[in-house]
Amino acid sequence: MAQNFAHLEQRSQDQLISQWHLSDEKRDIDVLFLTTEDDLGVTINGGRAGARWAPEAVLNVMNKMIAPQNQLRLKKIKLEASQENLKDKQTQYANDIQEQIKKWNPKLIIHLGGGHDHIYPLLMALKSDPLLVINVDPHLDTRNDSEVHSGTPFRQFSQQKSDWKCIQWGTHHYANAPANFQGLEKVMHIVDDHTISRDNERAHALIRHEIASWNGQAILSLDADALSSSIMSGVSAVNPLGLSPEEVARVFETYATTTRGRGVIGIYEYNPLFDDLSQKGARYLAQLIWNLLNHLNKA
């Protein structure tokens, strides 16, 4: 007699995969997932290709997690741009992001890249508001190169908007040339890795204060290479002295509690091609997302 696997289908009814809104019919959504399966910016920056596979790798893990107690309406939109030039792609992505946010009116936006160049079109789509960005990243991503790429998004955005602020969280000074700091002193606040380890409570109090007092949109951006290679080997720039998984989870917790589960989150630079067979990087990022959903569920 053939083995019966119906119990696996029944199990999926309790998992997050059951909470996706599959129809294109317009309605208000709790969480809008925007995915960009594109790592051109990483390769232009001299990095290793593969981040384009990150959104599906992370969501495949997340879908198997038990859903928060109350039903959430989740919607996934895959953003696509056929242009060959990265600047043209960024313009297309920004327009599409703006359109999708207007259509679905989400409480929480989660943007999954792709390289960190994708934070730029996200910011451009939201630029009508004063923006506060908390960038968890060893790199400032403010290079002043002739070509745009995954290392230039915040320099690019500063050329388009003046009323914004960026808290650079976990900066490694050995990973940033002096020129990366120049010209952005008025908008950047550096919280380097030594500050976080030396005075952790004060560092997190800064995030809470900045979000609570900001008259506009607060955005949390995670470049996965901020994390220690003990948990995150699947990145182009592996970081042996990166932040602990507990520290990054705490940043997400601080953000979620201060924004009451709402807001805009970007997760970039995870490269599943260089993760190990356990998929520990994807599993970690999926758990960060689950915690965000749980906060929204309780709000």
Q: How confident is the model at residue 299 (pLDDT cuts 50, 70, 90)?
A: low
Nearest to 166 by CA among 185, 180, 147, 138: 185
Average pLDDT, the chain: 95
Q: Which of helix, strand or coil describes residue 219?
A: strand
Residue 221: the pLDDT is: 99
**Residue 8 in this model has a pLDDT that exceeds 80:** no
d(C-alpha 122, C-alpha 91), whole Å: 10
Residue 245 lies in a domain: yes
**Residue 251 in this model has a pLDDT that exceeds 80:** yes
- The percent of residues above 90 in pLDDT, for the chain, comes to 87
Residue 10: the pLDDT is: 80
17-37 tens-digit pLDDT: 988 988 788 778 999 999 999
**Residue 42 in this model has a pLDDT that exceeds 90:** yes
Nearest to 56 by CA among 136, 115, 117, 113: 113
Residue 55: the pLDDT is: 99
Residue 16 lies in a domain: no
**Residue 193 in this model has a pLDDT that exceeds 90:** yes
Do you know the residue count of the chain?
299
Report H helices in the chain.
Answer: 6-11, 40-44, 54-62, 86-104, 119-125, 153-158, 193-198, 200-213, 245-259, 280-298
Taking residues 99-123, what's their average pLDDT?
A: 97
Q: How confident is the model at residue 157 (pLDDT cuts 50, 70, 90)?
A: very high
Residue 18 lies in a domain: no
Residue 12 lies in a domain: no
Range of the domain at 120: 27-298
**Residue 297 in this model has a pLDDT that exceeds 80:** no
Residue 115: the pLDDT is: 98
Residue 21: the pLDDT is: 85
Question: Which stretch of 4-13, 139-148, 267-276 has the lowest confidence by average pLDDT?
Answer: 4-13
Residue 173 lies in a domain: yes
68 Cβ partners below 8 Å, 6+ apart? 290, 293, 294, 297
62-89 tens-digit pLDDT: 999 999 877 899 999 999 999 999 999 9
Q: How far apart are the first and last CA of the chain?
A: 49
Residue 3 lies in a domain: no
Residue 9 lies in a domain: no
Higher pLDDT, 4 or 172: 172
**Residue 181 in this model has a pLDDT that exceeds 80:** yes
Q: Which of helix, strand or coil describes residue 180?
A: helix
d(C-alpha 148, C-alpha 160), whole Å: 14
124-137 tens-digit pLDDT: 999 999 999 999 99
Q: Residue 67 has what DSSP assignment?
A: P
Residue 101: the pLDDT is: 97
Q: How many domains does the chain have?
A: 1
d(C-alpha 282, C-alpha 235), whole Å: 11
Q: What is the CATH number of the domain that holds 33?
A: 3.40.800.10
Residue 193 lies in a domain: yes
